[in-house]
Amino acid sequence: GEQVEQRPPHLSVREGDSAVITCTYTDPNSYYFFWYKQEPGASLQLLMKVFSSTEINEGQGFTVLLNKKDKRLSLNLTAAHPGDSAAYFCAVNSGGNNKLTFGQGTVLSVIP
């Protein structure tokens, strides 16, 4: 089945700096990709989504890039602020089977 590897597990940046979180996946039939944000002690909130046909999505200060050739998905934050401090998870849907496979998560800390 699908396997998703997410890096790095922890990331600390200063306010205003950029941050990049990357996921690699194995199933070439994967088509839908998601990023979820989880603030401490809270649930997961859908942050952004990208489909295989679009490859790029922007919003809320984030950019999601999809490289289908390398089976790599990235979440790029151009100017971090303390409110971005949270855990971020990528999730991949493979072949429309109604299931998501999650990465291990990245804890992002933004230092004021």
Partner 1 sequence: EAAVTQSPRNKVAVTGGKVTLSCNQTNNHNNMYWYRQDTGHGLRLIHYSYGAGSTEKGDIPDGYKASRPSQENFSLILELATPSQTSVYFCASGESWGVSYEQYFGPGTRLTVL
Instruction: Collapse the DSSP code of 80 into the 3-class scheme (helix H, G, I; strand E, B; otherwise coil) and give the result.
Output: coil
**Closest to 30 in 3D by CA, of 87, 89, 102:** 102
> Residues 7, 15, 16, 51: which binds partner 1 (CB under 8 A)?
51
Beta strands 106-111 and 10-14, pairing class: parallel
Query: CB-hemisphere CA count at 13 Å for 2?
Result: 26
DSSP letter assigned to residue 78: S
Q: How many residues bind partner 1 (CB under 8 A)?
A: 24
Which one, 65 or 100, has the nearer CB to partner 1? Answer: 100
Q: Can you tell me the distance from the alpha carbon of 70 to that of 84, in angstroms, rounded to the nearest whole number?
A: 27
Which of the residues 77 through 96 are near partner 1 (CB under 8 A)?
89, 91, 93, 96
- The site map against partner 1 for 1-40 (x = CB under 8 A) is x----x--x----------------------x-x-x----
Residues near partner 1 (CB under 8 A):
1, 6, 9, 32, 34, 36, 42-46, 49, 51, 89, 91, 93, 96, 98-100, 102-105
